[in-house]
């Protein structure tokens, strides 16, 4: 294949972006487990999970809406949308910082170390990352996944290099880690501003109508974006406050390798929305349904070999990521079993994600929003009651799986009612056919 065509393939660039980030995340996690105490690791991952969720909320509030209205618009309209995005995301950031400052007043009454660290450092991270988040929204709308990759790699690389420097000077502790996390986001945002990737110059072109359109659409679509991270933060909160930071560190280790599922999902979800929206806007109902079925079937079936391989080497993987203290140890076995259970249920994830994207594309974001609320209630009730009564970390796996199954059922019902006949078994048949054709193609070319 020609190199030019290869690097212009948006699916490949998106996959490279998520894949590269996951490799760096693996590397960083392995370093943390070796150079921080298990309690510090638990506190760090509680902070990161909570921060990532709120960042995803902020970015998710506009990413789908911005892509939808920006694509194909005239330049004048695009300037208005970029300026309006700055106003909305800036306002969300300001509100979050004000709430955080209010929480400072109650610090004397908060004894949990994880929560105290989050309150102390959240605002600095949220402000430092704002230009970077807007640059990422703009890059996705322009299908500049090469730029998106560059932004993500910059942030993660600065973070890893900075922590290695701390290790060299024997300053590797939780507080210093919080400082360099802010530093990494700030460096990346400054780079985005100087590169002209943020569209900051278009703030003066903001229009009330554009703000209203983006906000009105985004308040529903945010549910689809945060659904992937929603359970991460509820799980982290429940485990941290019921079982403690050390149990959270073990749980996080067990879920690290779930990136083999999340990498293709995040990559193709990022490119699915523009494609499905285009077919919907052209009135091509059959193409919308067929494309969604292809995504679900192809990705689900492609995951099976990787997941089967991962099941057998879970314990070894926990030792590699977490270090020798997690290899053939009770904590390592627990982490490995958590991973095995999640892997078995991960085959339902593609159906959940792409049906949600399809509902957004056919202008039914409010259904996704209601569905997310139902999933959250189920997750919190099952996870909270189960953990409290049984004091067993495996409960959280079931608390994650049940809402996903409910979500798939609700999405199928909504699509069939409001748009057209969608058969999930057909998606897997179509996926199998797509995979077989792809495997036969190299032989035809010889």
CA 395 to chain centroid? 23
Q: DSSP secondary-structure letter at 284?
A: -
Q: DSSP secondary-structure letter at 211?
A: H
Q: Kindly give, in sequence order, each residue whose CB lies less than 8 Å from that of residue 181, ignoring residues fewer than 6 positions away.
A: 121, 125, 159
Contact assessment for residue 247 and residue 239, using Cβ atoms and an 8 Å cutoff = yes
Closest CA to 251 of 240, 263, 262, 259: 240
Contact assessment for residue 249 and residue 37, using Cβ atoms and an 8 Å cutoff = no
Q: Helices 208-242 and 395-418 meet at what angle, rounded to 10?
A: 150
Closest CA to 240 of 404, 393, 434, 58: 393
Rounded Cα–Cα distance for residues 184 and 200 (Å): 20
Place of tokens 């000077």: 169
Tokens found for residue 339: 């991973």
The string over 199-238, giving b where at least 16 C-beta atoms fall within 10 Å of a residue's C-beta and e elsewhere, is: bbebbebbbeebbebbbebbebbbbbbbbbbbbbbbbbbb
Q: What pLDDT does residue 19 have?
A: 67
Rounded Cα–Cα distance for residues 366 and 151 (Å): 31
Q: Kindly give, in sequence order, each residue whose CB lies less than 8 Å from that of residue 218, ignoring residues fewer than 6 positions away.
A: 60, 61, 62, 64, 65, 88
Q: How many CB atoms lie within 10 A of CB 369?
A: 16
Q: How many CB atoms lie within 10 A of CB 252?
A: 26
Tell me the pLDDT tens digit for each residue of 250-289.
898 888 878 778 777 877 887 788 788 888 888 889 999 9
Q: What pLDDT does residue 11 have?
A: 60
**CB-side neighbour CA atoms (13 Å) of 87:** 19
Its pTM stands at 0.75
Residue numbers in the chain where pLDDT is lower than 50: 1-8
Q: What pLDDT does residue 318 have?
A: 84
């Amino acid at each position: 294949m020609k190199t030019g065509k290869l690097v212009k393939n948006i699916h490949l660039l998106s996959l490279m972006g998520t894949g590269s980030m996951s490799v760096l995340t693996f590397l960083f996690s392995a370093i943390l487990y070796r150079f921080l105490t298990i309690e510090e690791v638990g506190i760090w991952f509680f902070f990161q999970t909570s921060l990532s969720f709120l960042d995803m909320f902020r970015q998710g509030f506009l990413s789908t809406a911005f892509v939808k209205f920006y694509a194909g618009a005239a330049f004048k309209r695009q300037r208005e949308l970029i300026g309006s995005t700055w106003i909305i995301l800036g306002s969300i950031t300001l509100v979050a910082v004000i709430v955080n400052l209010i929480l400072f007043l109650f610090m004397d009454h908060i004894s949990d170390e994880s929560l105290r660290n989050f309150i102390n450092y959240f605002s600095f991270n949220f402000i430092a990352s704002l230009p970077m988040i807007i640059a990422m929204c703009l890059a996705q709308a322009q299908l500049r996944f090469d730029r998106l990759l560059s932004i993500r790699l910059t942030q993660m690389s600065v973070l890893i290099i900075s922590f290695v420097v701390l290790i060299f000077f024997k300053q590797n502790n939780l507080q210093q880690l919080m400082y360099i996390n802010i530093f990494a986001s700030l460096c990346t945002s400054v780079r985005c501003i100087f590169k002209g990737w943020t569209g900051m110059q278009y703030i003066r072109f903001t229009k009330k109508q554009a703000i209203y359109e983006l906000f009105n659409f985004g308040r529903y679509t945010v549910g689809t974006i945060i659904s992937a991270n929603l359970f991460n933060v509820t799980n982290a909160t429940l485990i941290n406050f019921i079982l403690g930071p050390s149990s959270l560190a073990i749980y996080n280790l067990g879920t690290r390798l779930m990136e083999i599922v999340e990498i293709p999902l995040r990559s193709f979800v990022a490119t699915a929305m523009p494609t499905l929206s285009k077919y919907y806007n052209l009135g091509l109902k059959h193409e919308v349904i067929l494309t969604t079925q292809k995504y679900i079937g192809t990705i689900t079936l492609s995951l099976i070999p990787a997941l089967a391989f991962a099941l057998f080497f879970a314990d070894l993987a926990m030792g590699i990521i977490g270090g020798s203290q997690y290899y053939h140890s009770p904590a390592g076995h627990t982490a490995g079993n958590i991973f095995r259970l999640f892997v078995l249920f991960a085959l339902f994830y593609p159906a959940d994600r792409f049906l949600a994207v399809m509902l957004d594309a056919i202008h039914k974001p409010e259904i996704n929003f209601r569905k997310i609320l139902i999933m959250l209630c189920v997750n919190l009730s099952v996870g909270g009651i189960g953990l409290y009564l049984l004091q067993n970390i495996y409960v959280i796996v079931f608390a994650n799986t049940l809402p996903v199954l409910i979500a798939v059922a609700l999405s199928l019902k909504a699509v069939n009612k409001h748009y057209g006949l969608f058969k999930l078994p057909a998606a897997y048949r179509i996926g199998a056919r797509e995979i077989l054709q792809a495997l036969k193609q190299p032989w035809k070319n010889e």
